[in-house]
Amino acid sequence: MAEKILMPRLSDTMTEGVIAAWHKNVGDSVKKGDLLAEIETDKATMELESYKDGVLLHRGAEEGGKLQVNDLLAIVGDKGEDVSGLIGGNGKQDASAKTQDAGKKPEKENTKSEKKTSAEKQPETSTQQPVSDIDISKMEEVVLMPRLSDTMTEGVIASWQKNVGDDVKKGDILAEIETDKATMELESYKDGKLLYQGAKQGEKIAVNDLLAIIGKEGFDVNKVVAATKGGGGQQQEPVAKDNADQQKAEGDVSKTASSGVPQQKVEDTAHESEQQVVNEGRIFASPLAKKLAEEKGIDLRYVKGTGDNGRITKSDIDNYKPQAAPSAQKAVSSEQKQEAPSTQPAQKQQPIVATPTYTKEDFEEVPVSQMRKTIARRLAESKFSAPHFYLTMSIDMDACVAARAKLNEISPVKISFNDIVLKAVAVALKQHPKVNSSWLGEKIRINHHINIGVAVAVDEGLLVPVVRFADTKTLSQIAGEVKTLADKAKSKKLQPSEWEGSTFTISNLGMFGIDEFTAIINPPDSCILAIGGISQIPVVKNGAVVPGNVMKVTLSCDHRVVDGATGSAFLQTLKNLLEEPLRMMI
């Protein structure tokens, strides 16, 4: 009996798979365990084996085609078996296919009396497939916005690497997508011509919405676009033309605005005009080029791009040399020399600087970034769904301060107090596995591996890269890995595998002078440790008051998983390890 094989979910974030290669053709014999196909997921290309014996009777998509999870991938059964019923499913697909065929038949076939009768009874539009019946997710030409992280709900087009009309090959970079955690490159998984862009640079698209269309010339782009908008059917012009119009409009606006510049500002802009402006209106540059230009103080209007369609790249910034700067400097110095005699007697007089006076309420509204949206959503869910409680403890850090100084004399990388706390947390979690757990609704997952997330502040918010198997690593290894992950987080170069899978999180604000604070749990973890700064305060030792180094830590716990006694026992172990650092070396 024929049996369906559906597209399996091969990763926790997979929503669709691309057929990288078929290893069996229709009509080939298949045995249990034989390699059927290679499936490209959002994380890797994986092999799919057959789980039954028979003959391959049907393939749901050809190489390069994509299927949603649980869509029909293949049918394996007996030779010659009729599988039309399995392919059609509930009949909707068959009906749709018949409608398409009806719309493609030559006019001469309509001479038959039966077709004339049906044509008289039905309106003219019945020969065309209704736009609302098109499933664009199953069209090979369509590229949907992929889910590039486990928390991503929408992406912003940081830049397009291909324009409408450009030839695209498998593996070419289509666009750079800004997610809630990083800016990532999106590769094409098929050959063809870029026929449509779903959004302009800087605009956002929800996951699984239309991102692009790649196909052959003559493909009906408007039909697909209309389907995504619920059958609106409006003619869509390529984004490339919109960009050109916008650049022209922005150029006109800038010229109009420049005509109204007050007279006193003309001299300030005179030197700037000596340098040739090569970019007007919207400037196309890679995110890295923009970042480098900002750091070096380079105005991108004067940089000539060597990339596609004049796009500014990193090499353009590196090779840029301002030509008008010397003449401007000479002009300024000559003016200073001319003015020097007249102004010398009045050098002691300080110029009066006008301080702006606000006579009305003033404010500024900025759009919410993808990262900030995700932080707001996830932490609100955590705070209002997980019953938090907090445990605070003071720890004598004298031994750690002395140990760190000695360790840094021989360590290949500088070890911070945060690295020592991370190592102590990993050792303590090994002894208290209930703290290293997750709430799953109907069950609690107790993790035997220890992956510690480290909160890192970035310009737009907060990222939590993960140190995996922290209990098995030395202090030097932890220090090097944390530094590398923090640098990648700040430059938005983290990959999904580097921020997923934490079992416990630490957040340290001690370097900002914070004595203690409470942190919100990072799901799916059950606890997060908030680390304050080390303060020198009077302490009592052996009956005498002496100066001591004290650090306060606060453990936020999900009461659905961790009870007060469990959390307290974990903190007691952590305290013992930090007050006697040699214990964590065993």
Active-site residue list: 559, 563
Rounded Cα gap, residues 40 and 11, in angstroms:
11
Other beta carbons within 10 angstroms of residue 521's beta carbon come to 21
Q: Copy the structure tokens of residue 253.
A: 């606006």
Distance CA 305, CA 247 (A): 16
Cβ-based neighbours of 404, under 8 Å, separated by 6 or more: 415, 417, 420
| CB contact at 8 A, 12 and 73 | no
Q: Beta strands 527-541 and 204-206: pairing type?
A: unpaired
3-state class (DSSP) for residue 51: coil
- Any idea how long the chain is? 586
Give the alpha-carbon dihedral of 358, 360, 361, 363, to 10 degrees. -60
The angle, 0 to 180 degrees and rounded to 10, between the axes of the packed helices 325-343 and 266-274 is: 150
Tokens at residue 463, please?
Answer: 């990222």
Please give the backbone phi and psi of residue 270, each rounded to the nearest 5 degrees, phi first: -65, -45
| Pair 564, 391: CB distance under 8 Å | yes
> 466-471 long-range contacts, Cβ below 8 Å, gap at least 24?
466/498, 466/499, 466/500, 466/501, 466/502, 467/422, 468/501, 470/422, 470/423, 470/425, 470/426, 471/426, 471/427, 471/429, 471/430
Q: What is the CA radius of gyration of the chain?
A: 32
| DSSP run (H or E) holding 224 | helix 221-228
Q: How far apart are the first and last CA of the chain?
A: 60
- Is the peptide bond preceding residue 524 cis, with omega within 30 degrees of 0? yes
Question: Angle at which helices 417-431 and 564-579 pack, to 10 degrees?
Answer: 130
C-alpha–C-alpha distance, residues 119 and 101, integer Å: 15
Name residue 65's amino acid.
G
| Distance in angstroms (rounded) separating the CA atoms of residues 77 and 279 | 62
**Cα–Cα nearest to 136, from 149, 145, 125, 128:** 145
Helices then strands, each counted (H, E), the chain: 15, 26
Which residues lie across from 541 on neighbouring strands?
A: 544
> To which residue do tokens 């309509």 refer?
110
- Which residue, chain included where needed, has tokens 């399995």? 86
Distance of alpha carbon 527 from alpha carbon 520, whole angstroms = 9
Distance from C-alpha of 234 to C-alpha of 74, rounded to nearest angstrom: 36
Distances (CA, A) of 80 to 51, 94, 141, 400, 503: 20, 20, 32, 75, 52
